[in-house]
Structure 1
């Protein structure tokens, strides 16, 4: 048996290794269009590689995917985050789990993951063909014939082909699959930070709020978590999660919208009023500058006071009802004009790709082309930040490589 893996990324290597373990006598070849392999693995998590997430249940795991979560529920019964951790540790990559449940190599270096994959491919005698882009797939008898870009290689036939090319930023990159009658969902960025070029808040670059609630004005989109203020705008897990949840909506808005920020992460404004009144009752003579609610960073608190029109030297007892109402509004419904996005370079992800309608998710086989399979981000599956996108890659690659 001859098996082709199209794409030398995370899903591609995982599919190749799994296929060779399932079909020991088979010839398995990874075709990669560029000179580089495992590029996203190398830079993911700031070079540490966030392999998966240690969340406790399949339900919680599947809820981390704005697109494809329901489809993955059954797949996670076959191969989930616990299987992933065992897979890597049993192959010589010790892991560690952070407080936020993100899972990294104990070495804190993505090279440990890359070395593991390369060692397994050498051990299993998996072939690697670089600078071999695929331009076409044709059905020839019971086999699939691959046509290569530039004619560097003659067309070659394979018994099984697994497509793991990752996310495509443009629909044109999926045209060769669309020609086979696969339905294509329009690609769009899915993990990115927000630019607010006209907002003074960027002067607070480097400030982190541990728990904030963010939303897109005029929609039901909301996310919470740590928020980072940058020199261009907003980033951090809360923003990246919101960008993932709203990938389609924000693309349609051309990344021009109003961002609502609740710096307290308290959803009920009445509770904030009560909390601030308690501060006034307990510390009436304290200066606003010296007593920060919700443990807000000092620079941010002073900025919010200025935005509210309250002098830092004013005492808490002197702000009055009007001042209190303005402060509550600023703390819970601060609004910023977003004008554009930035690429999240460590973990760029797209939504869209080959529609799940075109794939049998029990096997990851194409519904329109027998013996053609899919794994990873080429499918219309994407998750929020935190190791979930790699987990989808491992799961779908494992299933695509199973015995028929």
Structure 2
């Protein structure tokens, strides 16, 4: 008989176990992990460096990075936020560093530092870790409001149960059977698959952009001219920031923000849609046309292809000039008004067809999970079942890339731990 059983040996599960044991050392706590190893997602996070959290210390600003959970996480972030997480690791001998883009990593640049910290703490605090313990069922015990946990070979009992199983369909199904509402899971962080000559030969190139996704109802193969009414319509999704061209299409923060905020819409589109990229986001199409006419007057003797007047990579410039059907030898002085308009269009409103998605590195994140309406966010306790708590990605919370998904795990685990220590 355990006081507390935690299902899931990942970031949220370990953090919750440790924080609970610190708060109440008398509790007998066990972590159940279905695999041979624990903390697998921590291991691969951030390219093996573990993007622990993000240097956003204002809870009001921090919640703006959560497409789902923004309102619910505000209170919890006031209780336990970025600075608290940094202090936790640094007090345990894991110094951290803040990179230029705000992401926070261990100074060792190794996720093993985080894993070793957790394993050392669980051993010090006497927390049991049961590997190869896939949970087959968990059922509330009527006689004492506790829980019975069944693995392949054994039955266990506990007073309090915390589910930190991440995106686990079998766990979600059991919760559904017990009366919880499960929001269907869809991918949240993913890159866009695009086959297009403009980006085919320049993988690895990165530049700052503005990206918009128009409503799919605008797509009509019979329309061969651009309608002014379409240009003025508001996009359903938009973002800005660095865009990375890859062998399979597009990635980088600008794309990943779209994938997170548009997780449900893009799933409905079956990951087939169009995006419009402004490669020079400080200019609108009309403004850029005027600038190109000025360049024509100043640089008339130079060829357009070899005169990159903007802060975009040279190889991209050459490809976009070619896409505007401009001959390599054409000089600025010989460019007609229509040619310069086409170039401005290509630079500020490049349209690309997205046909599918790819997982962002090894960091598979989903939107979906336990309905937020059925969780008390003062304790991360179930409103439906007694002595049941949640933490991490098992609930319908997800974030953009940059350490924010881990911050949700740390915060939920901490708040749940405080409540569980008192039960």
TM range (shorter): over 0.9
Listed as ranges, the matches of 1:2-401 within 5 Å are 2-140=3-141, 141-150=143-152, 152-153=153-154, 155-168=155-168, 170=169, 172-197=170-195, 199-218=196-215, 219-266=235-282, 268-401=284-417
CA distance in 2: counterparts of 1:66 and 1:130, whole angstroms: 33
1:176 deviation in Å? 0.5
User: Shift in Å at residue 88 of structure 1?
Assistant: 1.1
1:209–1:263: 8 Å Cα contact kept in structure 2?
Answer: no
Query: Displacement of 1:268 after TM fit?
Result: 3.0
Give the SS at the match of 1:63: helix
1:218-259 Cα shifts (integer Å, max 9, x gaps): 242011111111111111111111111100001011101112
Q: How far 1:125 sits from its partner (Å)?
A: 1.1
Structure 2: runs of 5 or more not aligned:
216-234
Deviation at 1:261, TM superposition (A): 1.2
Deviations 1:276-295 (A, max 9, x none): 33433432322212221332
Instruction: Tell me the TM-score normalized by structure 1.
Output: 0.95
- CA–CA distance in structure 2, aligned partners of residues 348 and 205 of structure 1: 26
Contact map agreement 2:259 2:266 (CA 8 A) in 1: yes
Cα distance, 1:133 vs. partner? 1.5
Query: Over residues 263-312 of structure 1, what are the superposed CA-to-partner deviations in whole Å (9 max), with x where a residue is unaligned?
Result: 11236333323433343343232221222133221221111111111123
Contact 1:8–1:30 (CA under 8 A) maintained in structure 2? yes
Question: 8 Å contact 1:189–1:351 — kept in the other structure?
Answer: yes
390-399 or 136-145, larger mean C-alpha shift: 136-145
Alpha-carbon RMSD:
1.6
> Structure 1 stretch 255-264 or stretch 136-145: which is displaced more?
136-145
Other structure's SS at 1:114 match: helix
Number of aligned residue pairs: give it. Answer: 399
Q: Deviations over 1:371-393 (max 9, x none)?
A: 10000000100000011000000
Distance 1:227 1:203 in 2: 15
Structure 1 pair 56–274 and aligned structure 2 pair: CA distance change class (3 A):
farther
Alignment check: 8 A CA contact 1:259 1:338 kept: yes
Q: CA deviation digits over 1:327-358, x for unaligned, max 9?
A: 11111111111111111133210000001011
What stretches of structure 1 move > 4 A for 4+ residues in a row?
A: none
SS at 1:280 equivalent: helix
Per-residue Cα deviation, 1:169-198 (whole angstroms, up to 9, x for no partner): x5x55111111111110100000111124x
